[in-house]
């Protein structure tokens, strides 16, 4: 998911450089949403790992 956030961020940068403001804004919004979802899932996974006891062999 983080990969797709970076891809949309790069698309937004390229579109912004070439003057496509609408496409840049849309791609930037999508990248922000994907990054937020990634952070939420990462923190949830981190918390669940701590609650369950970390690494079990």
Indicate whether 56 belongs to any domain.
Answer: no
Q: How high is the pLDDT of residue 1? A: 77
User: Does residue 13 fall inside a structural domain?
Assistant: yes
Q: Mean pLDDT in the chain?
A: 89
Is 7 part of a structural domain of the chain? yes
pLDDT of residue 56: 65
Tens of pLDDT, residue by residue over 33-57, are: 999 999 999 999 999 988 888 666 5
Rounded average pLDDT over 2-17 = 90
DSSP codes, 10-31? HHHHHHHHTT-HHHHHHHHHHH
CA dihedral 5, 7, 12, 17 (to 10 degrees): 150
* pLDDT of the residue at 43: 96
What predicted TM-score, i.e. pTM, was given to this entire model? 0.76
Q: What share of the chain is helix, strand, coil (3-state, %, to 5)?
A: 85, 0, 15
- Locate 18 and state its tokens: 């070439």
> 21 is in which domain, residue-wise?
2-49
pLDDT, residue 7, reads 92
> Would residue 10 count as lying in a domain?
yes
- Work out how many domains the chain is built from and give that number: 1
d(CA 47, CA 50): 5
């Amino acid at each position: 998911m983080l990969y797709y956030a970076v891809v949309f961020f790069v698309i937004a940068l390229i579109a912004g450089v070439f003057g496509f403001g609408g496409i840049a804004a849309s791609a930037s919004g999508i990248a922000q949403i994907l990054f937020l979802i990634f952070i939420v899932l990462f923190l949830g996974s981190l918390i669940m790992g701590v609650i369950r006891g970390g690494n079990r062999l």
